[in-house]
Amino acid sequence: MADHPGTGKSRLSLHRRGFLTAAATGATAAVVARGAEAQTSEATPAAGVNPRTPRPVTLSVNGQTHEIGLDARTSLLDALRDHLRLTGTKKGCDHGQCGACTVHIDGKRALSCMSFAVMAEGHEITTIEGLAAPAGDLHPMQQAFVDQDAFQCGYCTPGQIMSAVACVKEGHAENDDDIREFMSGNLCRCAAYPNIVAAVKQARDAIREG
Partner 1 sequence: MHPFAYQRASSEQAAVEAGNPGPGVRRPPTEAAAQFVAGGTNMSDYMRLNVTRPDVLIDINELSPSAYGHIEADSAGLRIGALVRMAEAEDHPVIRSDYPVIHDTLKLAATRQIRNMASLGGNVLQRTRCEYFREASFPCNKRQPGSGCSALDGFNRRHAVLGVSDACIATYPGDFAQALIALDARVEIMGPQRRRTIAFSELHRQPGGTPNVETGLAPGELITGYVVPAGPHTRRSRYVKTRDRESYQFALASAAIALDLDGATVKDVRIALGGVATVPWRAHEAEQLLVGQPLDETLARRAADAAFAQARTREHNGYKVPIGKETLVRALLETQAMDV
Ligand X SMILES: Cc1cc2nc3c(=O)[nH]c(=O)nc-3n(C[C@H](O)[C@H](O)[C@H](O)COP(=O)(O)OP(=O)(O)OC[C@H]3O[C@@H](n4cnc5c(N)ncnc54)[C@H](O)[C@@H]3O)c2cc1C
Question: Which chain residues interact with partner 1 by CB under 8 A?
Answer: 1-4, 9, 27, 31, 34, 38, 40-46, 49-52, 55, 71-73, 75, 94-96, 99, 102, 105, 108-111, 113-116, 118-119, 163, 166-167, 170, 172, 180-182, 184-185
Q: Are 130 and 121 spatial neighbours (Cβ–Cβ below 8 Å)?
A: no
Residues 89-118 that bind ligand FES (CB under 6 A): 91-94, 96-101, 111, 113
Residue number, 97 or 126, with CB nearest to ligand FES:
97
Q: Are 51 and 118 spatial neighbours (Cβ–Cβ below 8 Å)?
A: no
Please enumerate in sequence order all residues whose Cβ is within 8 A of that of 153, keeping only pairs 6 or more positions apart, or say none.
189, 190
Q: What is the C-alpha separation between 92 and 94, in angstroms, rounded?
A: 6
Q: What torsion do the CA atoms of 60, 66, 68, 72 make, to the nearest 10 degrees?
A: 0
Residue number, 44 or 63, with CB nearest to partner 1:
44
Binding letters toward ligand X, positions 74-113, x by CB under 6 A: ----------------------xx----------------
Query: Under the criterion CB under 6 A, does residue 6 sit at the interface with ligand X?
Result: no
Q: How many CA atoms within 13 Å lie on the side-chain side of 174?
A: 3
Q: Would you tell me how many other CB atoms lie within 10 Å of the CB of residue 62?
A: 18
**Shortest distance, position 207 Cβ to ligand X, whole Å:** 28
Phi, psi angle pair for 58, to nearest 5°: -105, 120
**Shortest distance, position 38 Cβ to partner 1, whole Å:** 7
Binding site for ligand FES (CB under 6 A): 91-94, 96-101, 111, 113, 151-157, 188-190, 192
Binding site for ligand X (CB under 6 A): 1, 96-97
